[in-house]
Structure 1
């Protein structure tokens, strides 16, 4: 048995900030709801920015500006100025990944420090971080495979996954933690789901247009970048066909929401989606008939991000999540608060209180109402 001796020295205890920095911050700082929502929005904005700059890397033929990964060249992490403009563009995009990590990290810290603590939202914020890490590793794989078009396509789809998680986080910040409550009927939700699925197919086919198009990502004579062996115009036509399918579904949804007198939130979101689709369609046709100029292609990628965000917002507007605590309204809810009016939330004498739910909000199964809407 070991006996304490004169030479025994107690192991120093790590400071609290080193053991659990997030808990340390949360114990000393409680952000206001606006700060948390802005942090989540910043993470979403950076998720879109990284797509635009990644597109610029390919469209300027800078995809192999750093020929290796995780270093840039040999043992050098950043490379040298002598490597030229393509290197500068590629390394700048790599450095922006750290800015994206900082934005996501800020969202994680702000959400962890919220009162009361929201475990589900906190996990969703961390999911953003891990998607960023996974996509960064996949981005390295695009370099190691010398810009294989299928690997590049999946790189963009992982960026779309990041945007999805970021939108969900931003939305959930302004909601409560109760179970979702539908604002529209089952048939309307199913129509929205079909439109969402069609939008996913539209985005996937769009990545194939990129893989077959005239912008391989590297123009050096030392290496010929592999392309998808199909006429890009054929794939572009298929992409346009799916675009019209999505537009048609969005118009149908717009009319149905008004026909069933849906809440203002879903109607407004469907209008926004239609306008974004129209703008994206104009850009798409102009770039096609002008033979895919780099600037318009990158703008079209930005438009694809907006289309997906607008689609997600439509789907999320079909339900509300009030606070699980009776009488408490989520403090971070935005001014437009999807479903707030319909839930009977009012602000009187400076205090928010939840009024009894109207009978029209009782589930359809209990009232035998209109299968398209939960409202009368």
Structure 2
């Protein structure tokens, strides 16, 4: 019986990417995940949410936007096409991770998790259009994109470290404080989607789009309160890490997170007092991604999984030997 050929195995037999290439492919996934969030926000902020009034085609009779649909149809359709670019980047990361020797199943699983998140979020995006920009579906669309960003960041981190069992670099209570920071930031992002769903930018000016029936000022105040909680946790974590003499890299990550949070808070304040101008709202969405990336990086820096190893063919025999990768690959 002929042996079943796996296309990824065929690639692995003919191509051996470097550790740096795999890391860059994983980082490209992070960049594309951020771009998808920002361009999705641009669709809403330019009132192009129903630029293509149906899905998966743009109209019932056309796959692409027609001239009568104007710039809104072009913006919405372009955002849909970016999904294919994202799929290509994720596909490259999966292929590079699979072709890299020694094979790291944990890395390829993270790549496939991104693929299925992209596919599922594409369906959620279609439901968003078919339901006339229902704010709850819009919020779930954003949160699914944030989940994609989460997996992309984890894959990026895992691509630069080994496969040993995780070893805490700090005491367990400090690690738990890191968990609390992650949960609080996640809640902050969720409440941010509620603020958006009850606010002024519904996504389409030609249709009476349903909004979440909450007082936008009250829900915004809750959002601000959570910002204060997250800032407090970041400051507390910084002091604790200094007290326990944690690695310098972890300290640096907390300082970077604090800086991003302060910048994001400033943008949010200016946005609020100026009645949410579109450009600032879009910038705030970008800031949301950067805050989440910084939080994840801090949390992941609290543990270590050993050195990344490179595969080097042995002088004789058919087996690979493992040795630590160059520091530039870390």
TM-score normalised by length of structure 1: 0.82
Which residue of 1 is the match for residue 232 of structure 2? 248
Tell me the distance in 2 between the aligned counterparts of 1:50 and 1:306: 13
Cα distance per residue 1:335-370 (max 9 Å; x no partner): 6x5xxxxxxxxxxxxxxxxxxxxxxxxxxxxxxxxx
Tell me the distance in 1 between the aligned counterparts of 2:95 and 2:145: 22
Tell me the distance in 1 between the aligned counterparts of 2:189 and 2:291: 9
Select the structure that is richer in helix: 2
Counterpart among 68, 73, 78 of residue 87 in structure 1: 73
Matches within 5 A, 1:1-376: 19-220=5-206, 223-323=207-307, 331=325, 337=330
Tell me the distance in 2 between the aligned counterparts of 1:105 and 1:81: 33
TM-score normalised by length of structure 2: 0.93
Tell me the distance in 1 between the aligned counterparts of 2:36 and 2:12: 29
Which residue of 1 is the match for residue 317 of structure 2? none
**Alpha-carbon shift at residue 333 of structure 1 (Å):** 6.3
Tell me the distance in 1 between the aligned counterparts of 2:37 and 2:308: 36
Tell me the distance in 1 between the aligned counterparts of 2:192 and 2:308: 41
**Alpha-carbon shift at residue 332 of structure 1 (Å):** 7.3
Q: How many residues align?
A: 319
Cα distance per residue 1:132-153 (max 9 Å; x no partner): 0011110111001100001100
Whether the 8 Å CA contact 2:231–2:258 is kept in 1: the answer is yes
Tell me the distance in 2 between the aligned counterparts of 1:143 and 1:216: 12
**Alpha-carbon shift at residue 234 of structure 1 (Å):** 1.3
**Alpha-carbon shift at residue 20 of structure 1 (Å):** 2.5
* Unmatched runs of 5 consecutive residues or more in structure 2: 310-320
Tell me the distance in 2 between the aligned counterparts of 1:42 and 1:135: 19
Change (3 A) 1:25 1:244: same
Tell me the distance in 2 between the aligned counterparts of 1:288 and 1:264: 36
* Unmatched runs of 5 consecutive residues or more in structure 1: 1-12, 338-376
**Alpha-carbon shift at residue 328 of structure 1 (Å):** 5.2
Task: Name the larger-Rg structure.
Answer: 1
Whether the 8 Å CA contact 1:36–1:107 is kept in 2: the answer is yes
